[in-house]
Structure formats: C-alpha cells, structure tokens
Structure 1
Amino acid sequence: MDHAVHNKLVSFIWNIADDCLRDVYVRGKYRDVILPMVVLRRLDTLLMPNKDAVLEEVRYQKEEMNEIELDDEPLKDASGYVFYNVSKWTLTSLYNTATNNRQILLANFEEYLNGFSANVLEIIERFELKSKIQHMAGKDVLLDVVEKFLSPKINLTPEEAVDPDGYKLPALSNLGMGYVFEELIRKFNEENNEEAGEHFTPREVIELMTHLVFDPVKDTLPLTLTVYDPACGSGGMLTESQNFIEEKYPTTGTRRDIHLYGKEINDETYAICKSDMMIKGNNPENIKVGSTLSTDEFAALRFDFMLSNPPYGKSWASEQKHIKDGSDVIDPRFKLKLNNYWGIPEDCDATPRSSDGQLLFLMEMVSKMKDPAYSTQGSRIVSVHNGSSLFTGDAGGGESNIRRHIIE
C-alpha cells in the first residue's frame, strides 16, 4: 500500500473521532475507542470469509459430538487463523439488524464480543472495550461508530474493494495494518502531548537497527531463529525485523521460521501488539504483558537476536523491591561477577541509579544471550540509548560495572 492510500485511510479513521465522538469524549480520549475499534474491525474482516465454516464446526461439536466445551483447534482450522468468533454476529450483521432500541444493539454487540476466542477476549479486556461499548451505547453513538467503520469508502480488509464511485480500494496488507496502527498512535500522542517514542519507534530507526544487527551475519543466518524485544510497544521492532529478514535474505527451496518474543507494560499497547501478531500469523502467546524489570518472563530462554528501544530517563524506583533487598541485588539478571584488583571474582551490583532504568533493559538482554560455546553464532543485540549510558556513574558503581562487563 503506497503512502497516499495509507495516509487517506489514517485520515478517514482519524475523522471518525471528530464525527462521532466529539460530544462523548474529550479529544485526548478518542484513541481509547478508535484504536480498539480498528483492531476489532480488522479481525472482523479476516474472519468473515470463513464465518459459516466456524459456525458449522460449532454446530458439529455441540450437536453431533455433544461437547460441553468447544475444542479450540478445529475452530482455529475452520477460521484459518489462531483466533475465531463463535457468535452468529459480525459487525455488518450487527449494523444491518440494528433498531432504535439501544439495549438490543448493546446486547447483540456484547454477544458478539463474548464469541471471540480466549486470546482475543484478553485483548478486548486490556482495551476495556466492553465498558467503552456500553458508554457509547448510553450516549447513542455506538451505531454511528459501527457505521463509520463499515463505510464503503475505506478498505480495512485484506482484499481489494471498490468504493461507491467505482474507484478501486487497494487491499490492506498485514504490514499496512501495522503502519495504520502506528500512525494513529503517533497522531493521538501528539494530541495528548506525549512522546511518540513511548509507544513506537520510527521506521527509519528500526531499519538502521535491522541493518546493524543482521547484515554482518547475513550469509550465516539460521533457518530457525528467535528475535526478542523486552520493551516491545506495539511490536514494530519485532515485525520489521521479520520483514527485513524475509525481504533482504530470502531462502530458496525452504521456509525460514522466525519466532518473535516480546514484553510490554502498557495494556493498550500490549493489546495492539498481540492483535498485530495474531493478524500476521505469529504466535501471540510469545507476547507477554507486565513489567520486564519486575518479572523475568523468559528466564529459561535464550535468543538469537535482540532489538529494543527501552525507555530512558524514567525512574525504576517503584520496581526496586523486585530487584534489590536493601543494598543486596536479588535478581540474578542484575548481578555480575567481576575480578577485583587481585584477580579474584567478586559479586558486583549491576543496577544503575534509580532515576534511569535504560541500562536494566540492556542487562535483561545480555542475560538472554546464547553462549557461543553452545551456539555457533551466540547472540547479537542492538539497543537505542541516550548518551547517559556511556558516562554516568562512578567507577565501581552499577553503570560502570555494566559497561565493564559488556566490554570484558
């Protein structure tokens, strides 16, 4: 999808907020509705072609197999994705059967949401979408919002369409959907006076990072590899890495398996990332929610490549209790063995000052590196930092110990 079409789509979605929600939410809150509705509409369009097959599988399991609980795997096979919806509803049928009774529309909409598979239900919960649907229904704008997202003037489907004037609307690829997510987040963040980098990294920066981490080993890339981002945001770093490898270094005669892993603390951004993984055919279970610093989610795993743009200049004082007990470091990720003046190994603190946690994310990645003694290539890391990582801290302090450990 070219930039002109992409920008037109983003503008149309952006205008939905002003058209329908200006009297319901303050502008800074528009994204709380628009982003989950974009996700919902995209999932809806993907599931529509195989809707009848899913409903037939539901009927088969209930009536012929006498199942009380539905079996996930046949339903996924029927839908063609790692998610599905077992209700009779789609957004189109919800709109077409709507009446003036807002309670009926709300009840049908909730039945539709409850019909999704567990992995989508988690996304709905993280977005707090059910309460937002109830709020919009109470303000009599829910039907208007649904109508806008079903507009024939935009195409959120993976198939080419034609608008009412006869003009072709290009298919929206999974990659294009990722661009739409990130552009909307950027625009909403500007409205809220937030830093855009808190939620996604510009594509130009990611492209530079992918060149840095993959180009030196392009001739020896394994057929199966793992990529990890401990502050994955909406997942752009992960999916762009995957796209980069597949486009720049394609394989012949076989398919490369690229497994993406990430963790994100913000519920909304996590929901976008996880839904993006589902849409693109990656395993959504590899994306975790919560604080990377407080909980070592992937303690048993080691990764081939790690790319990240962790938050910098942000305090980690609230997470200190999970990492240190007084002056003692209790999390092995942030404890090092370094030789003292006499060459004797000693346990050393590898935590920076509490006002800036960016080096903790670096140490998280270092702790997930493969040992070259057991892995032919070890691991490669590229991480975005501001200048403070290079010079803050006194000799023998946490920051200094981290730099010494990496160099040695």
Structure 2
Amino acid sequence: MNTAVHNKLVSFIWSIADDCLRDVYVRGKYRDVILPMVVLRRLDALLEPTKAAVLEELAFQRDEAGFTEWDESGLRDASGYVFYNTSEWTLQRLHDTATNNQQILQANFEDYLNGFSTNVKEIIDKFKLKSQVRHMAQKDVLLNVLEKFTSAYINLTPFEKNDPDGRKLPALSNLGMGYVFEELIRKFNEENNEEAGEHFTPREVIDLMTHLVFEPIKDSLPPVMTIYDPACGSGGMLTESQNFIKDPDGEIKARGDVHLYGKEINDETYAICKSDMMIKGNNPENIRVGSTLSTDEFAGVQFNFMLSNPPYGKSWASEQKYIKDGKDVIDARFQVRVKDYWGNEEEVDATPRSSDGQLLFLMEMVNKMKPVDQNTTGSRIASVHNGSSLFTGDAGGGESNIRRYIIENDWLEAIIQMPNNLFYNTGITTYIWLLSNNKAANRKGKVQLIDAGQRYRKLRKNLGNKNCEFAPEHIREIVDVYEQMLTIERTTDDGIASKIFNNTDFGYYKATIERPKRLKAQFTAERIEELRFDKTLREPMEWAYTEYGQEVYTNLAAHEKAILDWCEKNDLNLNAKQSKALVSPATWQKGADLINIAAQLMQAIGNEEYNNFNLFTTAVDTELKAAKIKLTATEKNAILNAVSWYHADAEKVEKGVVKLSAEKLTNLLTHLGCTEVQLPHYGYYLTDKKGEYLQYETESDLRDTENVPLAEDIYAYFLREVQPHVPEAWINLDATKIGYEVSFNKYFYRHKPLRSLEEVSADILKLEEESDGLIRQILNLA
C-alpha cells in the first residue's frame, strides 16, 4: 500500500475520533467505535450494489414461495457474497434519511444490524457494536459518526473509485486494511499508555514467505490446496498467499480451489479477518476465534501449506493448564519422542518457558503436516520468529527439544535472517523458519542459513517502528539464493551471505564432568553445636536460642508469639508448615538429641582429624552399633555433614562397589568404543574382583559441563580438553543430554580490525584544526 495513501486514510479515520467522539469517550476508548465502524462500512459498501436483488429475493421467498425460514443460499446468491443484509437500510440511506432525532436513527441502525446474516452478526457481537450505537445515540453523536464514514472522500472498499472531485481513491486491500488497523491500534494504545502486543506482518515479508513456500514446488502443486495460519490476525497472510498462487499473471498456477483456515485470539482482529474472508468469497467458517494453544480447533486436520507470524515474547502461562498437568504434557501436539544418548527412545518435554510461547505455534503447525505419500507432496511451513527461538533453552529444555525434534526429523530447510526495524511494531531482528517434510534430495540432512539482515531499502517515512523494507530485487535475490542452495560469503557491508550445514552441526552433547568428593572429618564441640538448629530454620532458631536460651526446651509456648513476630518483622516469609515447625518442641528436641548422640560419638572416637572419610564413617558405624543407637539415614548424614568438610588433599570418598555382568560390560564397552582400562574415565574403577567396579561420591560444587559437538566423540573430547587439566575427573554418561541451537552470529560474524593508531591520530589532528578555525570565526579573528 502506498505510504501517502495509507497515512491520509489513517489521518482521516483518526480525525473522525477527534471530531465526533472527543467529549463522549475517553481517548483510549475511541477504538471501540472506530474499528467496528471501519469493518461495517467495508461490508456495507460491498452490499450496496446488490441491495435491490437481495430484497427482491427476500420478497419472493416470503410472498411467493411462502418460506417460513429464509433460504440462505438464495440470499447469498443474490448478494454475490457469502453474507447478506435483509433490511431495507444501508449506511448511506441511514445517513440520507436521518433527522435530528437520534432515537429514530438508533432504531433504524439496529434494524439494519439485525438484517445481517449470522456470520456478520457474530462479527458485530465481537465488536459489541450495538452497545456503542446506543451510547452514541444517547450522546447525540451517532449521525455525525455516520456522516464521516459515508463520506465520498474515503474508500474503505477493496475496489478503486473516484471522489466527488474526480480524484482517484485507491482500493483498500486486505493487507492495506491490516496496515490501517495496526496503525489505529498503535495510536489508540499510545493514547491509553498501552503496548500493542501484535506484530503485523509487512506485505514484502509475506511476499518473500509466499515465494519461499510455493515457488520450489510450483510444478507439483496439489489439485486442491489448504493454507493455515494458527495466529492469523486480520488474515493478511492467508489472503496474500491465496492471491499469490491464484494470480493469473503470476508464475504459480493453482489448478484447483484454495481453502483458507485460521485461528485468532483477539476478537477485533478476528472480526476483521472473518469479514475479509466473506468479502473474498472464502468460507468464513474456517476462521475460528480463541486461543490456538488452549484448544486444538482443527484436531485431525492436516494442511498443505502453513504460514504464520506468531506472537513472540508473550506469556502463555494462562494456557498452561490446557497443555500440561504438572510436569506432564497432556496435549498431543506438544508430545515428542527422541532418542537418548544410549539410543533408547524417550518422551521429552516440548514446551518452552511460560514467558514466550512462539515455538508452541511452530509445533502446532508441525503437528498438522500432511504425511508424504503417493497422494500428497507433504507440507511446507514458513514461520516468523525472533532470535530466542534459535538459541534459548539449555540441552534437555523445552526450546532445545523442539529444535532437536524438528532438525532430527529433517524438516528444517532454511532460516533467513531479516533486517532490524522491518516490522511495524518491533525493531528487533527477526527470522523466517522454512520447514518441509518432503525435502528435495539435495537438501536431505542439510540446513541452509541465509543472512539477509543488510538487504533493505530505507522508507521515506517511518510506519511505527518500521523504517525499511525489502525491495522486489531483494526478495528475488533471497529466493534465488535459497532455491539454488548457494554458498555465499559476504563481500560488502550490505551484501547477502549464505551457508550450508549438516543437521548435526547444530547439535551438541551436554556432557557432565564429575570430580570425586574428598572430605576431612573431626568431632569438635563447635561443629556438633551446629546440629542444634534445623538447616531450613537456622536463622530464626539461632535467634530464639540466643534470646531465650534453655527456655526454648522448657517453656517454648511462652515465647511462641515473640518468635513468630520476629520472623515477620525480619521478612523471613515462612510458610505455615515452617512456622508450625519453628515453635514445635519436637523440632527443638530433635536437634538436642542429635547433639547428645554426636557428643557420645566424640567421646568414643575422640578429636582426631581424619584425612580419610571412609575410615571415619566406619568408626562412626562401629560406635553406633556398639552403643545400640539406631539413626535414620537423614539423622546420620546430618551428623556426618556437620563434622566434615571438603579438602583437596583428603582421600576420595567411596560410594560403593557395583557389579557388572559380562553381557552388560560388553554392551557398555561396545557402545563407548573403549577398553576396560578406560572405564575410570566414565566413573568405573577396577577392583581386585572380576566384574566389580568401585565408584566414588561426586562433589557437586566441582561439577561442570562441557558442550561437545554431535559430530565429535565425547571420549576423544574429554581426553583432549578435560583430562589433561583434571586427571581425576570422569564423564557421567547417564546425565548426558543432547541439545540443539542455531547461532547466526557464530556463523556470519565478520571481524573488523581496529584502526591503526596513526589513522586515529591523524583524524584527531584534523578535527583540532577544523575546530580551531571555527573558534577563530566565532571570535572574528580569522
């Protein structure tokens, strides 16, 4: 859409709000009137030419055919659209016959709205237009608003016409309607100090997406095509896709019908989308309202093509209960199975963090791909994302699992980086993900990354945050680079770059590197004293004991309120369970009992400092058995933890001996490709007994991870990068996770060397000379 025409139309519509609604609505509520009236005028202008035919058909059905219920197909045929209006009114006639009696105008207006077919009535209801009409009538501005919207100087129809002065008024396409709608929402929200949460997709981005989706298979398009957008907004991506493949002058020749499907959560944008589907002659029932993530509206339906610009950086926490039950994913769309490090299939979580649900929309589209068989060419997907979809999430996390699922199934064909400030309501870098479950032979096992971030032309005037756009030659260049699968190194600052990668290049093992726990131990009165306090309640218990001494054991109830008040005053924020435990005599007695047992052990074992924790625990076990003291594992560990500490010079703490059968040992060695002598590098240490291996406790504070490329052997990496620096470390293979990420900066970074000192010095001297001359001029000394 021409920028000047767009701005003129938006200004005119905005002036309606300022001229007619200023004293009737607060500025943030202008949208409640303006947006539905824009849509209504758009529908009304289309029905005007066939109004007589519809009324004639209505009279025939009522008077001659004697129908008690209207034959909707006949009325639709008469109107020429999939919607109609059976009232005698049009917006123009309402205006032309109106008097100053607002009540009569309101009644006629409501009669006009009631005459619409059911599909338009739903749109009217979503906009809550009837209540706005009543309010405007009560405030005596309904006629003024009607006069503005029926003005012959604006054109809200998809057809070109002339104004009363003979000037041409360009047609308002669906995409142009989307631009107008987006700009109005932005202005309304600015007035109300709100943020526009949607990112309308510019025409040239849709143009690029349609070329990428349809061109590669233009000679094998299915006879009947289905196109789906799970976040369809005002429907621009759907109708522009249809226009692209049905354009009689275009290269793409669709052989049969094209059916459009979409879902939109926002009532206003849904209403606009559905109205445009009706105008275009598409089935409006294929457009659904509601949350795509909460409800699988098209369950069991598969689509040939899917294009979308889902919301990014938007929380899906409110929809989480429909997708997950605790940690379990209950929606089949987001349940995926992959193979773990050992090759065993497992179900993993394929849901991103709750603060950003954009990848869930991609999974929704993946779930609805047509399988490839003799009757179908499969499905192709183009989806716009911000950078977080490329790299957010660690190995084993939801985002990484989604990338892994897509790449390991060989569905990802390409990712195209686009310029900043290309979109209407955001200036961040965006990317087009291109997926197919029927890759060409030369693309199998490959992913193409294209950096087109510098290919743009500046706009003469900004549209919101949008200050640049793709020119047609840029789109052609990107599509050619993709279709020819070219490898291009960027040679200029505004050039394009492209690289081809194997699928495995984006994957990595997150290998956990363990080190043995080394503990020293010694009984001392100071260390034993630590047992008095529960570790989860240490601060308040320590304060209470300091404040009240032995009374916490003999008269705790007398100090209960004071202790809890102190906790509240110091913002400890204890929950009910913790508060109850804090003032429970049993909690205090438990600590006192542990101190007594530890003191008994100290008397028996002495104050000797042990460098070998294994010997120390043996001595403790011996004394406990001799004294016939029975402790739970938790109580025993509490005593041992209180009197031990990590020391690099101490002996390693033994976890125990495990037995490996000959079969299991063979399988382990075969999978790892190592010998039995190398098993210590995996945490298994040889003993004197065949088939038995010693394992050591791990020191969690020294635990580390290494990201090892999938194409590389973990063991070889360990020997090269880890073992020379930490000889006693080993790999915990059971904790190994597989992750995937895509880093454009890593692959396309261009180093710019710093300027030489001589160059910088010369520039400084030059600036000094220039400023000196300027000062002389100012002082009239030149």
Asked whether the two chains share a fold, i.e. TM above 0.5, the reply is: yes
Does 270-279 or 366-375 show the bigger shift?
366-375
Q: Where does structure 1 lack aligned partners over 5 or more consecutive residues?
A: none
C-alpha separation in 2, matches of 1:324 and 1:189: 34
C-alpha displacement of 1:227:
1.1
Given candidates 189, 193, 213, the residue that maps to 1:192 is 189
Aligned pairs (5 A) from 1:31-70:
31-70=31-70
Aligned pairs (5 A) from 1:70-219:
70-157=70-157, 161-165=161-165, 167-170=166-169, 172=171, 175=173, 177-193=174-190, 198=198, 200-219=200-219
Task: Specify the structure having the higher radius of gyration (Cα).
Answer: 2
C-alpha displacement of 1:3:
4.8
User: 3-state DSSP class of the match of 1:228?
Assistant: strand
2:399 maps to 399
Aligned pairs (5 A) from 1:267-346:
267-346=267-346
C-alpha separation in 2, matches of 1:314 and 1:4: 32
Give CA-to-partner distance per residue, 1:327-355, whole Å, 9 cap, x none. Answer: 11111001012122332322222111111
C-alpha displacement of 1:219:
2.7
C-alpha separation in 1, matches of 2:156 and 2:385: 36
User: 3-state DSSP class of the match of 1:307?
Assistant: strand
CA, structure 1 residues 363+162, in 2 after alignment: closer, same or farther (shift >3 Å)? closer
C-alpha separation in 1, matches of 2:198 and 2:375: 34
**Of Structure 1 and Structure 2, which has the larger fraction of its residues in helix?**
1
Q: Does 1:27 align with 2:27?
A: yes
C-alpha separation in 2, matches of 1:374 and 1:367: 20
C-alpha separation in 2, matches of 1:161 and 1:217: 38
CA, structure 1 residues 255+30, in 2 after alignment: closer, same or farther (shift >3 Å)? farther
Residue type matched to 2:183 in 1? R
Higher relative contact order (CA 8 A, sep 6+): 1
Preserved CA contact (<8 Å) 1:264 1:292: yes
CA, structure 1 residues 389+380, in 2 after alignment: closer, same or farther (shift >3 Å)? same
CA, structure 1 residues 353+67, in 2 after alignment: closer, same or farther (shift >3 Å)? same
Preserved CA contact (<8 Å) 1:162 1:169: yes
1:348 maps to 348
Residue type matched to 2:189 in 1? N
Preserved CA contact (<8 Å) 1:156 1:171: no
C-alpha displacement of 1:159:
5.4
Given candidates 245, 248, 251, the residue that maps to 1:249 is 251
2:616 maps to none
CA, structure 1 residues 63+187, in 2 after alignment: closer, same or farther (shift >3 Å)? closer
C-alpha displacement of 1:81:
0.4
CA, structure 1 residues 98+261, in 2 after alignment: closer, same or farther (shift >3 Å)? same
User: 3-state DSSP class of the match of 1:198?
Assistant: coil
C-alpha displacement of 1:374:
5.3
C-alpha separation in 1, matches of 2:7 and 2:286: 31
C-alpha displacement of 1:289:
0.2
Residue type matched to 1:330 in 2? I
Residue type matched to 1:188 in 2? I
CA RMSD of aligned residues (A): 2.0
User: 3-state DSSP class of the match of 1:207?
Assistant: helix
User: 3-state DSSP class of the match of 1:249?
Assistant: coil
C-alpha displacement of 1:246:
2.7
Preserved CA contact (<8 Å) 1:306 1:382: yes
CA, structure 1 residues 162+358, in 2 after alignment: closer, same or farther (shift >3 Å)? closer
CA, structure 1 residues 125+71, in 2 after alignment: closer, same or farther (shift >3 Å)? same
CA, structure 1 residues 188+351, in 2 after alignment: closer, same or farther (shift >3 Å)? closer
C-alpha separation in 1, matches of 2:341 and 2:135: 65
CA, structure 1 residues 385+195, in 2 after alignment: closer, same or farther (shift >3 Å)? farther
**Of Structure 1 and Structure 2, which has the larger fraction of its residues in strand?**
2
User: 3-state DSSP class of the match of 1:68?
Assistant: coil
Give CA-to-partner distance per residue, 1:255-302, whole Å, 9 cap, x none. Answer: 542211110001111001111111112111111000000100111211
C-alpha separation in 1, matches of 2:316 and 2:133: 35
C-alpha separation in 2, matches of 1:225 and 1:132: 40
C-alpha displacement of 1:69:
1.6
User: 3-state DSSP class of the match of 1:23?
Assistant: coil
Aligned pair count reads 403
User: 3-state DSSP class of the match of 2:364?
Assistant: helix
Residue type matched to 1:225 in 2? M
Give CA-to-partner distance per residue, 1:85-144, whole Å, 9 cap, x none. Answer: 011111122112212221111111000000000000000000111111111111111101
C-alpha separation in 2, matches of 1:357 and 1:184: 24
Does 256-265 or 179-188 show the bigger shift?
179-188
Q: Does 1:226 align with 2:223?
A: no
Does 260-269 or 379-388 show the bigger shift?
379-388
CA, structure 1 residues 104+338, in 2 after alignment: closer, same or farther (shift >3 Å)? same
Does 255-264 or 103-112 show the bigger shift?
255-264
User: 3-state DSSP class of the match of 2:130?
Assistant: helix
C-alpha separation in 1, matches of 2:96 and 2:45: 16
Residue type matched to 1:369 in 2? M
Q: Where does structure 2 lack aligned partners over 5 or more consecutive residues?
A: 409-782
Q: Does 1:358 align with 2:358?
A: yes
C-alpha separation in 1, matches of 2:58 and 2:108: 19
1:263 maps to 263
2:431 maps to none
Q: TM-score, normalised by structure 1?
A: 0.93
Residue type matched to 2:240 in 1? E
2:576 maps to none
* Identity, % of aligned positions: 71
Preserved CA contact (<8 Å) 2:238 2:260: yes
C-alpha separation in 1, matches of 2:155 and 2:51: 19
